[in-house]
Structure 1
Amino acid sequence: MATAPIALEFNNEDLPLTTWTRDGEVKVRIGSPGTIEGNAPQTVIDVLKKVINRHGTESAMHWKKDGQWTSMTWNEYHAKCKEFAQGLLHLGMNRFDAVSIIGFNSPEWNIANVGAILAGGIAAGIYTTNNPPACQYIAHHARAQVVVCDGLQQLDKMASIADQLPDLKALVIYNATVPPNLKCRVPCYNFSDFLALGTPETSAILEERMQSQRPGHCCTLIYTSGTTGNPKAVMLSHDNITWTIASTLKQFENGGVTINSNSRMVSYLPLSHVAAQLLDIHLPIASGVQIYFAQPDALKGSLGATLKEVRPTIFFGVPRVWEKIAEKMWEVGKQTKGFKKVVSTWAKKKGLQKSTSAQFGSSGGIPCGFGLANSLVLSKVRAALGLDACQLCAVGAAPTPIEILKYFGSLDIPIYELFGQSECCGPQSICIPGAWKMGTVGQPIPGVEWKVIPETQELVFQGRHTMMGYLGMEAETKATIDAEGWLHSGDCASIDTDGFGAITGRIKELIITAGGENIPPVLIEDAIKEELPLLSNVMVIGDKRKFLSALFTLRTIMDSDGAPTNELDPTALEILSQIKSPAKTTQEALACIKVVEYLNAGVNRANARATSRAQSIAKYHLLEQDFSLPGGELTPTLKLKRKVVIDKYAEIIEQLYSGAEGN
Structure 2
Amino acid sequence: MLFVGCSENSISATTKRNLRSFEKRKQAGETQLDMNKPKTIGFFSSQLNGEVILRNDKKGEGNQAPLTVHELMLETATKYPDLIALGIKKVNEWETITYIEYYELCRKAAKSLLKLDLERFHGVGILGCNSIEWLVANIASIFAGGISVGIFPQNSPQNCRFIADNSEANIFMVEDDWQLQKILKVQNHLPHLKAIVQLKGKLRKKLPHLYSWEEFLKLGVTISDEMLDRIIDSQKPNQCCMVVYTAGTTGPPKAVMISHDNITWTSAAVLQSLPYTYAPENQEILVSYLPLCLITVQIFEIWIPITIGASIFFAEPDAIKVEGSLINTLREVRPTTFFGIPEVWEEIQQKLKLDQMSATSFKKNMIVWAKKVGLKTNLNREHDAHSPFNFRVAKKLIYERVRRNLGLDRCLQFLSSGAGLSKETQEFFLSYDITLLQIYGMTECTGPHSVSIEKEFKLLSCGKAIPGSNSLLRQKDEDGMGEFFIWGRHISMGYLNNEYKTKKVFDPKGWLHTGDMGILDNEGFIHITGRIEEIIITNEGERIFPVPIEDMLKNNIPIICHAMIVGNQAKFLSVLLTLKCEVNEDTGEPRSILTKEVINFCRRNNSKATKVTDITNNQDPVIDDIIQRGIDEINEQTDYDSHKILKWKVLEKDFSITGGELGPTSKMRRSHITRMYQTTIASFYI
Residue in structure 1 matched with residue 7 of structure 2 by the alignment? none
- TM-score using structure 1 length: 0.94
Give the superposition deviation at 1:372: 1.8
Give the superposition deviation at 1:403: 1.4
Q: How does 1:362-381 map to 2 (within 5 A)?
A: 362-381=383-402
* Residues 486 and 511, structure 2, Cα contact 8 Å, conserved in 1: yes
Matched to 1:258, the amino acid is T
SS in structure 2 opposite 1:394?
Answer: strand
Equivalent of residue 246 in structure 1, options 247, 268, 271 = 268
Matched to 2:631, the amino acid is V
| Whole-Å separation in 2 of the counterparts to 1:420 and 1:241 | 14
SS in structure 2 opposite 1:599?
Answer: helix
Give the superposition deviation at 1:137: 0.4
| Whole-Å separation in 2 of the counterparts to 1:317 and 1:512 | 33
**Per-residue CA distance 1:473-499 (angstroms, 9 max, x = gap):** 101111111122111111111122222
Of the structure 1 ranges 7-16 and 324-333, higher mean CA displacement relative to structure 2 is found in 7-16
| Whole-Å separation in 2 of the counterparts to 1:417 and 1:454 | 25
Residue in structure 2 matched with residue 406 of structure 1 by the alignment? 427
Residue in structure 2 matched with residue 574 of structure 1 by the alignment? 600
Matched to 2:267, the amino acid is I
**Per-residue CA distance 1:13-54 (angstroms, 9 max, x = gap):** 943100000000101112347x33110011111111110111
1:112 aligns with 2:133: no
Residue in structure 2 matched with residue 317 of structure 1 by the alignment? 340
| Whole-Å separation in 1 of the counterparts to 2:628 and 2:392 | 44
Equivalent of residue 614 in structure 2, options 588, 593, 615 = 588
| Whole-Å separation in 2 of the counterparts to 1:425 and 1:551 | 33
**Per-residue CA distance 1:62-110 (angstroms, 9 max, x = gap):** 0011221110111111111111111111122221111010000000000
Give the superposition deviation at 1:589: 1.9
Matched to 2:643, the amino acid is Q
| Whole-Å separation in 2 of the counterparts to 1:416 and 1:364 | 19
Any gaps of 5 or more consecutive residues in structure 1? Answer: 659-663
* Residues 57 and 469, structure 2, Cα contact 8 Å, conserved in 1: no
Residue in structure 1 matched with residue 331 of structure 2 by the alignment? 308
Matched to 1:293, the amino acid is F
Cα distance 1:621–1:612, how it changes in 2: closer, same or farther (>3 A)?
A: same
SS in structure 2 opposite 1:298?
Answer: coil
* Residues 273 and 453, structure 2, Cα contact 8 Å, conserved in 1: yes
| Whole-Å separation in 2 of the counterparts to 1:610 and 1:270 | 40
* Residues 57 and 488, structure 2, Cα contact 8 Å, conserved in 1: no
| Whole-Å separation in 1 of the counterparts to 2:170 and 2:371 | 54
Give the superposition deviation at 1:600: 1.1
| Whole-Å separation in 1 of the counterparts to 2:392 and 2:278 | 27
SS in structure 2 opposite 1:633?
Answer: coil
Equivalent of residue 178 in structure 2, options 143, 153, 170 = 153
Give the superposition deviation at 1:283: 1.2
1:284 aligns with 2:296: no
Q: How does 1:12-91 map to 2 (within 5 A)?
A: 14-32=40-58, 35-91=60-116
Residue in structure 2 matched with residue 271 of structure 1 by the alignment? 292
SS in structure 1 opposite 2:196?
Answer: strand
Equivalent of residue 512 in structure 2, options 480, 487, 490 = 487
| Whole-Å separation in 2 of the counterparts to 1:323 and 1:260 | 32
SS in structure 1 opposite 2:615?
Answer: helix
Residue in structure 1 matched with residue 22 of structure 2 by the alignment? none
* Residues 572 and 641, structure 2, Cα contact 8 Å, conserved in 1: no
| Whole-Å separation in 2 of the counterparts to 1:630 and 1:92 | 36
1:353 aligns with 2:372: no
SS in structure 2 opposite 1:412?
Answer: coil
1:439 aligns with 2:465: no
Residue in structure 2 matched with residue 643 of structure 1 by the alignment? 671
Residue in structure 2 matched with residue 661 of structure 1 by the alignment? none
Give the superposition deviation at 1:402: 1.2
* Residues 111 and 223, structure 2, Cα contact 8 Å, conserved in 1: no
Q: How does 1:517-596 map to 2 (within 5 A)?
A: 517-560=542-585, 561-590=587-616, 591-596=619-624
Equivalent of residue 158 in structure 2, options 133, 150, 155 = 133
Give the superposition deviation at 1:365: 2.4
Give the superposition deviation at 1:536: 0.5
* Residues 12 and 27, structure 1, Cα contact 8 Å, conserved in 2: no
* Residues 138 and 148, structure 2, Cα contact 8 Å, conserved in 1: yes
Matched to 1:641, the amino acid is R
Q: How does 1:594-609 map to 2 (within 5 A)?
A: 594-609=622-637
- TM-score using structure 2 length: 0.91
Residue in structure 2 matched with residue 461 of structure 1 by the alignment? 486
**Per-residue CA distance 1:397-416 (angstroms, 9 max, x = gap):** 12211111111111111111
Give the superposition deviation at 1:260: 3.6
**Per-residue CA distance 1:478-527 (angstroms, 9 max, x = gap):** 11111221111111111222221111111011122333222222122122
Residue in structure 2 matched with residue 624 of structure 1 by the alignment? 652
| Whole-Å separation in 1 of the counterparts to 2:454 and 2:28 | 30
Give the superposition deviation at 1:550: 1.2
Cα distance 1:610–1:142, how it changes in 2: closer, same or farther (>3 A)?
A: farther
| Whole-Å separation in 2 of the counterparts to 1:439 and 1:409 | 12
| Whole-Å separation in 1 of the counterparts to 2:374 and 2:149 | 43
Equivalent of residue 326 in structure 1, options 344, 349, 357 = 349
| Whole-Å separation in 2 of the counterparts to 1:259 and 1:490 | 36
| Whole-Å separation in 2 of the counterparts to 1:165 and 1:24 | 23
Give the superposition deviation at 1:557: 1.3
Residue in structure 2 matched with residue 210 of structure 1 by the alignment? 232
Residue in structure 2 matched with residue 392 of structure 1 by the alignment? 413
Equivalent of residue 277 in structure 2, options 248, 258, 267 = 258
**Per-residue CA distance 1:549-579 (angstroms, 9 max, x = gap):** 1100011111113221111112222332332
SS in structure 2 opposite 1:333?
Answer: helix
| Whole-Å separation in 2 of the counterparts to 1:413 and 1:48 | 33
Give the superposition deviation at 1:626: 0.7
Matched to 1:278, the amino acid is I
Cα distance 1:319–1:611, how it changes in 2: closer, same or farther (>3 A)?
A: farther
* Residues 51 and 285, structure 1, Cα contact 8 Å, conserved in 2: yes
SS in structure 1 opposite 2:100?
Answer: helix
Q: CA RMSD in A?
A: 1.8
Residue in structure 2 matched with residue 515 of structure 1 by the alignment? 540
Give the superposition deviation at 1:601: 1.1
**Per-residue CA distance 1:248-298 (angstroms, 9 max, x = gap):** 001013xxx424451111111001111221112111221111000000111
| Whole-Å separation in 2 of the counterparts to 1:5 and 1:656 | 69
SS in structure 1 opposite 2:73?
Answer: helix
Any gaps of 5 or more consecutive residues in structure 2? Answer: 1-25
| Whole-Å separation in 1 of the counterparts to 2:639 and 2:186 | 51
Equivalent of residue 523 in structure 2, options 498, 516, 523 = 498
* Residues 6 and 39, structure 1, Cα contact 8 Å, conserved in 2: no
Give the superposition deviation at 1:455: 4.1
Of the structure 1 ranges 347-356 and 593-602, higher mean CA displacement relative to structure 2 is found in 347-356
1:295 aligns with 2:310: no
| Whole-Å separation in 1 of the counterparts to 2:77 and 2:166 | 33
Residue in structure 2 matched with residue 654 of structure 1 by the alignment? 682
* Residues 443 and 501, structure 1, Cα contact 8 Å, conserved in 2: yes
SS in structure 1 opposite 2:263?
Answer: helix
Q: Name the % identity.
A: 37
Matched to 2:107, the amino acid is K
Residue in structure 2 matched with residue 340 of structure 1 by the alignment? 363
SS in structure 2 opposite 1:133?
Answer: helix
| Whole-Å separation in 1 of the counterparts to 2:486 and 2:189 | 39
| Whole-Å separation in 1 of the counterparts to 2:251 and 2:82 | 46
| Whole-Å separation in 1 of the counterparts to 2:537 and 2:556 | 25
* Residues 58 and 73, structure 1, Cα contact 8 Å, conserved in 2: yes
Cα distance 1:444–1:6, how it changes in 2: closer, same or farther (>3 A)?
A: farther
